[in-house]
């Protein structure tokens, strides 16, 4: 007696006998293809939505802050004790940059990846993604002033607050350029070769590249004058509620090498001449609201499925027309059963 006979024959979900189903390899492949296309489209659309549309607008810069920091990290090929730094702005305010900077004796090396003696190269504006990824505010480490170590080069770094007007940060040698009664460093001791690790305005984002970052200049002349002219444009980035204020600058360089020192014609030194544009650049990305985006995505994908369906059916019809019924249904014949049931 089989107690389970009743249960065995009971099936809540009646199934088509497997003999009667037709396996279509073509159908399977095209479904897979469709799924792939759908995923791909969804991915592309999603990316587009996240990136948004980038708008750049100029406006009059009416920011009220009138002091902003300049971040400097530079190595000059002269002992610190030779060096004189200063900031002079159009209001004739002299900022004793020395008060804010750290001076450390070290050796002079131009790191391999740095651009050496390239002037006026093309400068590119950082991409939105770079800004978002690399805007980590930082501060210079605390340094120990050790200017008298006798090391051949001097590492100068720090953040100097300046008035937001045209100005000139310069590095000269003691006794040159000013009518100060400082002991003049002998001309033989001068070397204005330098390596710039950082030169930026505003909040210090060490990972954002500025035109002068990672550049170097090496001169074989003792009396050399380097001038960097930098128009600075305040630039604000907006994305997803985050706002990042930066200052971008472009760069024009001038360098002069002299055989001898002449107090009128040739003041050796490194000058960073900056000026703030009255314009402000705002870069923001707009995106449609999330709900609208979802509706759009569903519409697109739905349309895709319908089109694909039509295409598939059309293709089938075409095959039938062209090669007859046998060809079109090839590959979808009933598989021969191995088991001989009954
Ligand atoms: C300055 O220093 C650099 C690096 O040590 C050197 O290559 C260059 O010849 C020096 N220039 C002068 C004028 O001594």
Residue 75, pLDDT above cutoff 90 = yes
Phi/psi of residue 215, nearest 5 degrees: -125, 160
Distance 142 CA to ligand 1 centre (A): 29
Distance CA 147, CA 98 (A): 11
Residue 151, pLDDT above cutoff 80 = yes
Residue 207, pLDDT above cutoff 80 = no
Residue 138: pLDDT band with limits 50, 70, 90 = confident
Total length of the chain: 342
Distance 122 CA to ligand 1 centre (A): 27
3-state secondary structure of 130: helix
Q: Is the CB of 37 under 6 A from ligand 1?
A: no
Distance 249 CA to ligand 1 centre (A): 29
Across residues 70-95, what is the average pLDDT? 86
3-state DSSP helix/strand/coil % of the chain, to nearest 5: 25, 35, 40
Cα dihedral angle (31, 34, 36, 39), rounded to 10 degrees? -130
Q: Whose CA is nearest to atom 1 of ligand 1?
A: 191
**CA 24 remoteness from chain centre:** 50
* The pLDDT of residue 118: 79
pLDDT tens profile 30-46: 788 888 988 998 899 88
Residue 264, pLDDT above cutoff 80 = no
Q: Token pair of 29, please?
A: 């492949």
233-89-172 Cα angle (round to 5): 105
Distance CA 278, CA 233 (A): 8
Residue 171's H or E segment, with its range, is strand 167-173
Looking at per-residue pLDDT, the higher value among 335 and 59 belongs to 59
Distance CA 147, CA 51 (A): 48
Distance CA 127, CA 262 (A): 45
Supply the mean pLDDT for the chain: 80
Q: Token pair of 95, please?
A: 């900022």
Looking at per-residue pLDDT, the higher value among 152 and 132 belongs to 152
Residue 147, pLDDT above cutoff 90 = no
pLDDT tens profile 183-206: 788 888 899 999 999 999 988 887
pLDDT tens profile 1-11: 556 665 666 66
Say if residues 184 and 96 touch (Cβ distance below 8 Å): no
Residue 293: pLDDT band with limits 50, 70, 90 = confident
Q: What is the pTM of this model?
A: 0.69
Angular region, 336: left φ>0, alpha ψ -120 to 50, beta rest:
beta
* The pLDDT of residue 182: 63
Nearest to 56 by CA among 210, 202, 237, 208: 237
Distance 191 CA to ligand 1 centre (A): 6
pLDDT tens profile 97-114: 778 888 888 889 888 888
* The pLDDT of residue 6: 59
* The pLDDT of residue 342: 42
Q: Among the atoms of ligand 1, which is closest to the Cα of residue 222?
A: 13
Residue 288: pLDDT band with limits 50, 70, 90 = confident
pLDDT tens profile 19-34: 665 556 666 777 888 8
Distance 337 CA to ligand 1 centre (A): 88
Q: Among the atoms of ligand 1, which is closest to the Cα of residue 77?
A: 2
Burial of residue 200, with CB atoms counted within 10 A of its CB: 0-12 exposed, 13-18 middle, 19 or more buried: buried
Looking at per-residue pLDDT, the higher value among 52 and 157 belongs to 157
Q: Among the atoms of ligand 1, which is closest to the Cα of residue 193?
A: 1
Across residues 213-217, what is the average pLDDT? 91
């Amino acid at each position: 007696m089989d107690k389970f006979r009743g249960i065995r024959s009971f099936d809540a979900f009646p199934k088509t006998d497997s003999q009667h189903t037709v396996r279509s390899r073509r159908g399977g492949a095209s479904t897979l293809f469709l799924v792939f296309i759908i995923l791909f489209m969804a991915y592309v659309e999603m990316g587009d939505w996240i990136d948004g549309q980038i708008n750049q607008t100029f406006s009059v810069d009416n920011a009220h802050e009138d002091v902003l920091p300049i971040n400097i990290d530079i190595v000059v090929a002269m002992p610190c004790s030779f060096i004189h730094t200063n900031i002079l702005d159009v209001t004739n305010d002299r900022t004793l940059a020395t008060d804010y900077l750290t001076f450390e004796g070290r050796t002079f090396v131009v790191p391999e990846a740095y651009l050496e003696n390239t002037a006026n190269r093309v400068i590119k504006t950082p991409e939105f993604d770079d800004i978002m990824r690399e805007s980590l505010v930082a501060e210079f480490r605390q340094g120990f002033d050790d200017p008298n170590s006798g090391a051949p080069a001097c590492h100068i770094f720090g953040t100097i607050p300046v008035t937001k007007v045209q100005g000139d940060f310069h590095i000269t040698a003691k006794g040159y350029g000013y009518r100060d009664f400082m002991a003049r460093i002998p001309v033989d001791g001068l070397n204005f070769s330098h390596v710039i690790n950082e030169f930026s305005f505003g909040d210090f984002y060490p990972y954002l590249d500025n035109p002068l970052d990672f550049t170097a200049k090496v001169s074989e002349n003792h009396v050399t004058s380097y001038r960097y002219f930098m128009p600075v444009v305040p630039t604000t980035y907006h994305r997803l509620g985050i706002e990042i204020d930066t200052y971008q600058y472009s760069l024009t360089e001038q360098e002069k090498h002299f055989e001898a020192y002449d107090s009128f014609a040739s003041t050796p030194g490194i000058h960073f001449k900056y000026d703030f544009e009255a314009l402000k650049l705002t870069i923001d990305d707009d995106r449609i609201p999330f709900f609208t985006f979802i509706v759009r995505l569903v519409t697109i994908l739905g349309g895709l499925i319908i089109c694909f369906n039509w295409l598939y059916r059309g293709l089938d019809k075409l095959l039938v027309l062209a090669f007859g019924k046998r060809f079109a249904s090839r590959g979808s014949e009933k598989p021969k059963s191995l088991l001989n049931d009954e």
